Copies of this chain bind each other. A is one copy, B any other.
Amino acid sequence: VWLLGARGSVATTTVAGHAAVVAGFAPTTGLVTALPPFDGAPLPALGGLVFGGSDVTDVSLPKRAEGLCEAGVLPAALPDLVAAALEEADGEIRPGIPEQSGEPPLEAIRRLQADLTGFVRRRALDGLVVINCATTEPALSPGPEHEQLATLEAVLARGSAVLPPSSLAAYAALDLGFPFVDFTPSTGAHLPALAQLADRAGVPYAGRDGKTGETLVKSALAAMFADRNLAVHSWSGINLLGGGDGAALAEPARAASKLRTKAQVLEGILGTPVEHHVEIHNVADLGEWKTAWDRVSFGGFLGVRMRLEFTWEGADSALAAPLVLDLARLAWAARQAGESGPLAPLGFFFKDPLGGGGYRLDEQWERLVRWVGELPSG
| Cross-chain contact B297 with A234 (CB below 8 angstroms) | no
Task: Spot the interface stretch: A85-93, A193-201, A259-267, A314-322.
Answer: A314-322
* Interface residues in A278-333 (C-beta closer than 8 Å to B): 279, 281, 283-286, 291, 293, 295, 297, 299-304, 306-315, 318-319, 321-322
Task: Spot the interface stretch: A71-79, A151-159, A370-378.
Answer: A71-79
| Cross-chain contact B293 with A286 (CB below 8 angstroms) | no
For this chain, the copies found in one complex come to 4
| Cross-chain contact B228 with A32 (CB below 8 angstroms) | yes
Instruction: Please count how many residues in chain A sit with their CB below 8 Å of the partner chain's CB atoms.
Output: 72
A126 at the interface (CB under 8 A from B): no
| Cross-chain contact A275 with B285 (CB below 8 angstroms) | yes
Return the CB mask of A203-238 against B: 1 if under 8 Å, else 0.
000000000000011001101100111110110101
Task: Spot the interface stretch: A22-30, A48-56, A168-176, A351-359.
Answer: A22-30
Name the contact of A230 in the complex, choosing from B29, B76, B293, B361 (C-beta under 8 A).
B29
| Cross-chain contact B29 with A299 (CB below 8 angstroms) | yes
Q: Is the interface of A mostly helix, strand, loop or mixed?
A: mixed
* Residues in B whose Cβ lies below 8 Å from that of A231: 27, 29
| Cross-chain contact A301 with B229 (CB below 8 angstroms) | no
* Residues in B whose Cβ lies below 8 Å from that of A78: 302
Q: How far is the CA of A221 from the CA of B302 in the complex (A)?
A: 26
A45 at the interface (CB under 8 A from B): no
* Residues in B whose Cβ lies below 8 Å from that of A275: 283-285
| Cross-chain contact A279 with B238 (CB below 8 angstroms) | yes
A277 at the interface (CB under 8 A from B): yes
| Cross-chain contact B302 with A20 (CB below 8 angstroms) | yes
| Cross-chain contact A314 with B300 (CB below 8 angstroms) | yes
| Cross-chain contact B221 with A300 (CB below 8 angstroms) | no
* Residues in B whose Cβ lies below 8 Å from that of A318: 300-302, 304, 306
A136 at the interface (CB under 8 A from B): no
Name the contact of A31 in the complex, choosing from B74, B229, B306, B307 (C-beta under 8 A).
B229
Binding site for B on A (CB under 8 A): 13, 16-17, 20, 26-32, 34-35, 72-76, 78, 216-217, 220-221, 223-224, 227-231, 233-234, 236, 238, 240, 275, 277, 279, 281, 283-286, 291, 293, 295, 297, 299-304, 306-315, 318-319, 321-322, 348, 361-362, 365-366
- List 5 additional contacts besides A240-B277, A302-B318, A362-B365; criterion CB under 8 Å: A17-B302, A234-B283, A306-B312, A307-B312, A308-B311
